[in-house]
Chain A
Amino acid sequence: MDANSILERRACVTGIGQSAIGRRLGINPLELTLDSCVAAVEDAGLEMSDIDGLVTYPGAAGPSGFSGAGAVQVHEALRLKLGWHDSGIEAPGQLGSVIKACLAVAAGLARHVLCFRSVWEGTAQGTKGRAGLMPGGGGRGNFRASGFSEWTLPFSAPSAAVWIAMFAQRHFHLYGTTREQMAQIALNARANAALNPDAIYRDPMTMDDYMSARLISTPFGLFDCDVPCDGSTAFVISHVDAARDLRHTPVRVEAVGTALLGRPSWDQFDDLSTMANRDAGAQLWTRTELTPSDVDIVEAYDGFSFLTMSWLEALGLVPVGESGPFVEGGQRIARDGELPLNTHGGQLSAGRLHGYGFLHEAVLQLRGEAGERQVTRKQPQVGIAAAGGGNTCGCLLLTRE
């Protein structure tokens, strides 16, 4: 492919910002969102008046707490003047919104796009746990299921935990993957979270803790599931020509993956031992001269632990079916291992910031600004931020300029 036609390379990450993050902050979600937006613009060294693009995932929609704020609310609150704006959930994963921003700056519709993702699931679920986030309030009534939920809710399978558990079970069946192997995703996340002052769970976790935790939906136990929280993450995506002389050295977007060749379905996908990340991951490597062996750090979605293993295979970092043996023992994926993974603690320990947390961490690591948890064996030059699972996945290959 002609490098000039790979338009995402005209984009870079110039600013990152996060609000307070916590289990139940009791702070208005729009306020959290604005906190992260202001922080990202300031981090870029820009004025709010420089922002001429806005995008978010999923927009003001979805079940309770799933979206802390929509694009229109932020547009209005910050009185932005926009050349381009967009939001929506039907995208290549949560980071699909950031990929759209890259294309918007490449197309000249904007020069500096503010991207944000806010969650308020910690407060929204209240004291009812995840049941508080279920359709119909998780209770009785005249509610009838339609759309996708028509095919899952009547069978008492309302959660992605159950749907993704069946992908994991298929992988376990085909390749002999084990819970002890999968545990390393959770243990590695917790070990990294210990060095992340913003992480939600920082106390040490042992294999015994993992194996003795209550089962949720086999093969998933409690510690295979991420932690609902309140918080917001924002980025400024700038055109490379507009990124010079800003506060930080930009983190370049080398390539993105957005493909979905399989059916856009959780239970009808052609091969349930993989998922949409198979197609997005393969596409990413068709858009760069770099190869998986060039990758220094991976920040890959862990809404459920198995998803990270799935991403390792989908991104060609590990042969198909071999993510279990690869993560076994945890040494390879540790911060000082050959492929440092989810260096901030992932969503499993740092909180369910829903995709954006991975890009935030990748930028920090590539800048060399990750503090105590900075990968130091070698300053990372090439990183991946990947988000999503099931039928909705997208990824970015990033380089330090």
Chain B
Amino acid sequence: MANTEVPFRILPELNDTSGFFWKSGEDGQLRFLRCGECGTRLHPPQPMCYVEHSKNLAPEPVSGRGRVHSFSINYQPWMPGPELPFVVAIVEIEEDPRVRLTTNIVGCAPEDVAVGMPVRVTFEHHSDEGGDVWLPLFEPDPDADANSKSDAATRKGE
């Protein structure tokens, strides 16, 4: 399902703490803040690592692969935006499932989205006077092992 037209979005403010995150997609890579002392990834970004309170933090690229932790197919026109219905999801990243982001799943029919589905990042570029932004969206990951459903292991009562 081609997503040819870039929909209207309310863009994030570009500030000192999280501006890197929104500009990261310029080179096609997703980045999260990582502590140079203990390796903890912080999201949303903070000025200080919570583990040892280090300020030695820098954005570090990740693979861009992850899994759908949960999702909702949205039918309600809250505001101008993607064509209805569209999928809002919480994706956990491959490198550390504790690091999650709210995002949209694109590139497939909404009814094909499932918890545990492997996905990969794709960026949606926006440009206005407030500064360029690359929104990290996710699409089905064609390289993922279709039989790999590690999330199903967390499913209780099965």
Residues of A participating in the B interface, judged by any CB pair closer than 8 Å: 130-131, 134-136, 138-140, 142-146, 150-159, 161-163, 165-167, 169-170, 173-176, 214-220, 267-268, 270, 272, 321
Most buried by B among A131, A155, A175: A155
Task: Please pick, from A135, A150, A169, the residue contacting B115 in the complex, using a CB distance under 8 A.
Answer: A169
* Cβ contact within 8 Å between B135 and A155: yes
Instruction: Tally the A-B contacts, defined by beta carbons under 8 Å.
Output: 140
Beta-carbon nearest neighbor of A173 in chain B: B115
* Cβ contact within 8 Å between B70 and A155: no
| 6 closest cross-chain pairs (CB), A and B | A156-B81, A165-B72, A146-B13, A166-B70, A144-B13, A170-B70
Q: Does B15 contact A (CB under 8 A)?
A: yes
Rounded to whole Å, the gap between the CB of A225 and the closest CB of chain B is 9
Within B74-99, which residues are at the interface with A (CB < 8 Å)?
A: 74-82, 85-86, 88-90, 98
Contacts of A272 in B (CB 8 A): 69-70, 90
Task: Please pick, from B76, B79, B102, B133, the residue contacting A151 in the complex, using a CB distance under 8 A.
Answer: B102
Q: Does B148 contact A (CB under 8 A)?
A: no
* Cβ contact within 8 Å between B12 and A150: yes
A contact patch SS: mixed
* Cβ contact within 8 Å between B101 and A267: yes
Interface size on B, residues (CB 8 A): 48
Q: Please choose the segment from B3-11, B26-34, B54-62 that sits at the chain A interface, where 4 or more of its residues have CB less than 8 A away.
A: B3-11
* Cβ contact within 8 Å between B88 and A162: yes
Within B99-113, which residues are at the interface with A (CB < 8 Å)?
A: 100-104
Task: Please pick, from A142, A145, A167, A170, the residue contacting B12 in the complex, using a CB distance under 8 A.
Answer: A145
Task: Please pick, from A138, A155, A214, the residue contacting B88 in the complex, using a CB distance under 8 A.
Answer: A155
What is the CA–CA distance of A224 and B156 in the complex, to the nearest angstrom? 25
* Cβ contact within 8 Å between B79 and A145: no
Encode contact with A along B23-64: 1 for CB under 8 Å, 0 otherwise: 000000000000000000001100000000000000000000
Contacts of B85 in A (CB 8 A): 215
Task: Please pick, from A130, A138, A156, the residue contacting B74 in the complex, using a CB distance under 8 A.
Answer: A156
Known contacts A144-B10, A158-B79, A272-B69, then 12 further A-B pairs from the complex at CB < 8 Å, ordered by chain A residue? A134-B78, A134-B79, A156-B7, A156-B82, A167-B70, A169-B115, A170-B70, A215-B73, A217-B72, A218-B73, A218-B74, A268-B100
* Cβ contact within 8 Å between A173 and B11: no
* Cβ contact within 8 Å between B9 and A156: yes
What is the CA–CA distance of A219 and B115 in the complex, to the nearest angstrom? 13
Q: Does B157 contact A (CB under 8 A)?
A: yes
* Cβ contact within 8 Å between B76 and A157: no
Q: A144-B10, A153-B10, A156-B82 are in contact. Are A174 and B155 (CB under 8 A)?
A: yes
Q: Does B71 contact A (CB under 8 A)?
A: yes
Task: Please pick, from B18, B103, B155, the residue contacting A150 in the complex, using a CB distance under 8 A.
Answer: B18
